[in-house]
Structure 1
C-alpha cells in the first residue's frame, strides 16, 4: 500500500500540469505544458478545446516518462482536477467540441445574470451561490443561443470543462461530472445534490444538456494514454481539492489561493448556509457526507500584477525590494477582471489615487490592493468563528511583502509551504487509500504592528466603496 502511486492531472488557466504522488504526498515526477487564452475586448476570454486536451495529455506523458520502471509498476490510480467555471458544449455522440472553452474571465453572459438578480436570494438558497457572470450557467445559455443553433438539441451536451475532459480521456466516453464542479454552475441543488429542473428551465436550457452527476470519488472510467491503462477514480475542482492538501480541512484554517484570480476558503462545520449572502457556499467534497466551505472571490490577483507589469513597465519584478523602499505607495482601485465578493461588480474600472507616477511604487500599490481585497473579504467573513491561521499559496504568494502585509492586517500568522502546488497534493490525498500528510510550513509570517499600513487600508477601503458607488449611480 505504501508504494501505491497516483497520477494527478490538473487543468489550469495558463498551464496543464500532471504530477505523480505517493501516499505521503511526495511528488515523484511532473509535467507542465502552457496553454493560451485568447482575450478579446470587451468581454471574451476563450481557449481552444483540443489545445487544452493535447496539453493535458502531453503533461501526463511527460510526468510518466520521468518515472523509473519500478515506479511505473506502482501507478494504481489517477485523478483529474479542473477549473470550475471554464465551460463548453460538445456533441453527445462523438464528443467533438461545438464551442470554444469560455474561460472564467469571459463575461458575454452578463445580460442573463442581470435578468436573474431579482431572484438572487432564491438562487442562493437553492445553490449556495450569489449570481455572477463567472459561473457556468450564463456561459451555457450564451452558447446555446449563439453557437449551437445548427445542432439538434438532443445531441448537445454542455457544462464545465471537467465533463468534456472525462469524455475525452477515458475509454468508456461517458457524459459525467463530479458533484463539486456541478455545484459551481448555479444549476445544482445543494439539497437534492443534482441538477435543479427549475433552475435549468430558468436559464432556458434543454433538459438533455447536462451530464449525469456523480460523487467526486467514483470510478469514472479507464484513462487512455499511450502505453497506459489506469482507472480515473477522482474528479473535482482545483480550489476544492487544494483544501485537502494537508488532510481533512479544519475550520481553524483560512485558505487563500492567489492564482490568476484569488480564492479564500473556510471549511464549515454547520450544514446550513452561512449568514453572509454575498459570499459563496462552496461544496468541497461530493460524497455521502458532503463537506462545504465559505468562499470569497478576488478577481484581480496575480492577473492584476501581470496587468501592472504590462502597463507600468518597471523593468523587473523585484516587488519585495520595492516594497521595502516605497513605504507610502499610491492607492490602486483594483478592478482588474471586475470585482468579486462581496461587491460583485463586473466592470473593469481600475484607477489610481494620489498617483506618484513611479512605476515601481505603482507595482507596490497593486500588490497592496490584493492584500486590501483579502482583508475586505475577511471582514465579510466575520460572522464565522475566527480562524487561527492563514495558509497561502499560488503565484502571488511568492512575495514575502504581500504575505507579511496579510499577516499584519489580519492579525493572523500566515503559513506558506515550499510545495506551492497544493491542488495536486489535495487530489492525491483523496484518491490514494490511507494517505498521510506530515508537512511543515516552509515560511511563517507572524503579524506585526503596522499603523501606516492600517491607515492606508482605511483610506483605500473608503475610497474603493465610493469608487464603486459612483459607477453604479
Structure 2
C-alpha cells in the first residue's frame, strides 16, 4: 500500500526537477525542465531568477500531472532542495528580484576573500568553512556594492536561492531559510546556529539583509500551485539531503555525489573542526540533534567533462569503452571552475600535460582527473577514522570506468545504487511517515590491483602541485 506521497522539488545547476515518492522510496512520477547558466569571463556565472522559478513550477506540475487521480489525492507533503551557494537579492515587499542569481560557480567576489585571509582561522572557527569565493558571503557584498542602487536598504533581502524560492512558492511569502543552506553562506555560526554579527560586519552586510533561520524539518508554509496545495515541511541543500538517500548517514561510509561539481562527505556527530584546515566542516541536518560532516569539494566534475567534450569533440560520448582500451592517457590539470579542496585556487587554467591528438584519450584524462581529485581529498581526510566503503551517486557515477578507478586507487569497495537522483530521495525520507528503506546496491566495484593507474596518479599529483605553484608564483 502506497499510503502518503511526497512531492520533492530539486533546483540544480542544469535543471529543475520534481519527483513524487511513496514511503518505499519508489518514484511514481517526475518532471524535469532544463535551465541555463550564463557563463562569462572573468569568473561570472549567472541565472535568471524568473526562469528558475518558472522551470521549478513546470517540473512540479509535470510530475503531478502524470499521477493517477487516486495517487494525486494521496499527496500530503512537499520538500525543496537547492544549490547551496547560489544567491540573489530581492525586494522584501513584493519579492521582485533585484539581481540575477549568482551561481555557486561564480567567483567574482574573490578579492573580498583575498582581503580577509588574515582572518581565515577566525572565520573557520565560527563557520567551519575555509574562506573561498564560491561561498555566498562575498557574492552578497558584491551585489550590494555593484547592482543595487535605487532600493531602500531596509527593503533589500538577500540570501541563498532557497530563501527566494520559499518566498515565491509559498502562499505566506515568508522570508525564511533552512539552517543547512544558511550554514553554507560563511555568515552563520555553527555554535549559535544563527547569523553571526561579527561575520556580517566583516562583509559589510546589514542585519536586515538575511532571512530568518529555521530547522530543515519545519512547516515553512503552504506550497501553492494550480490545483495543488501542500505543506512545505523540509528545505535543505542538495548535498546534505543526498546523504540520507540510503538510510541514516553512517560514519563508516565516505559519500561521494558527482553532479556538475563533486562533493565528498564523512559524517560527524559532534561539532568540531576537522584537523586538516582546508576541509570544510559543515552542517548537514539542522534540528534539535544536528549532524555535521567533513566535506571536500571538486569543482570540475560533470562540468569538466562537458567543457572537454566541447574542446575535444569526439564522435561519441562512450567514456567507458575508451577507458577500457586507453592504457596511457595524458594528464589533465583539472581547474574547471577553479580548484576546490584542499587547494582552494580560484584560477581557471585547465590544460593537458603530455598531450596527444587522440580526443578519446584526452577525455579519459579528464575523467581520471576527477578520480585523482577524489583520491587527493581522501588523503586530506586521513586524520579521520578510515572509511569502510564508498557510496557513490550523481549523474557521472554511471561511468563504470570512473567508479572502478576510484575503488582501485582508494582500496575501498564502491557501492552504487539504482536510484540516481539521491538528493530527491534523501529529501523524501525526511517527510514521509512510516518509510521503508530497503535498498541493495545495484553494483559494487571491488578494488583491483592497477599499478599503471597508481603511477599516473602519483605523476599527476606531483605535476598538479607544481602547476599550481607556478600559477601562484
Question: Number of residue pairs matched?
Answer: 473
Matched, 1:127 2:105: no
Counterpart position of 1:456: 456
Question: What RMSD over aligned residues (CA atoms) do the two structures have, in Å?
Answer: 0.9
Deviations 1:398-446 (A, max 9, x none): 1111000000000001111111000000000011123221011111100
Asked if the contact 2:300–2:337 (Cα under 8 Å) also holds between the matched residues in 1, the reply is: yes
Counterpart position of 2:367: 367
Counterpart position of 1:262: 262
Matched, 1:56 2:61: no
Counterpart position of 1:406: 406
Deviations 1:115-148 (A, max 9, x none): 1111111100000000011101011000000111
Deviations 1:186-243 (A, max 9, x none): 0000000000001001100111000000000100000010011110011000000000
Q: Using the alignment, how far apart are the partners of 2:177 and 2:299 within structure 1?
A: 25
1:56 partner SS: helix
Asked if the contact 1:279–1:296 (Cα under 8 Å) also holds between the matched residues in 2, the reply is: yes
- The answer for unaligned runs of 5 or more in structure 1 is none
Asked if the contact 1:11–1:17 (Cα under 8 Å) also holds between the matched residues in 2, the reply is: yes
Counterpart position of 1:305: 305
Moved segments of 4+, more than 6 Å: none
Shift of 1:2: 5.3
Counterpart position of 2:6: 6
Moved more, 267-276 or 117-126: 267-276
Deviations 1:58-110 (A, max 9, x none): 00000000111111111100000000011000000100000000001111111
Deviations 1:265-305 (A, max 9, x none): 11113332221110111100000111001100001111110
Shift of 1:353: 1.4
Matched, 1:153 2:144: no
Matched, 1:465 2:465: yes
Q: Using the alignment, how far apart are the partners of 1:255 and 1:471 within structure 2?
A: 31
Counterpart position of 1:40: 40
Asked if the contact 2:8–2:20 (Cα under 8 Å) also holds between the matched residues in 1, the reply is: yes
Counterpart position of 2:79: 79
- The answer for unaligned runs of 5 or more in structure 2 is none
Shift of 1:314: 1.1
Q: Using the alignment, how far apart are the partners of 2:385 and 2:270 within structure 1?
A: 11
Q: Using the alignment, how far apart are the partners of 1:232 and 1:315 within structure 2?
A: 45
Asked if the contact 1:299–1:335 (Cα under 8 Å) also holds between the matched residues in 2, the reply is: yes
Q: TM-score, normalised by structure 1?
A: 0.99
Counterpart position of 2:356: 356
Shift of 1:247: 1.8
Asked if the contact 2:240–2:284 (Cα under 8 Å) also holds between the matched residues in 1, the reply is: yes
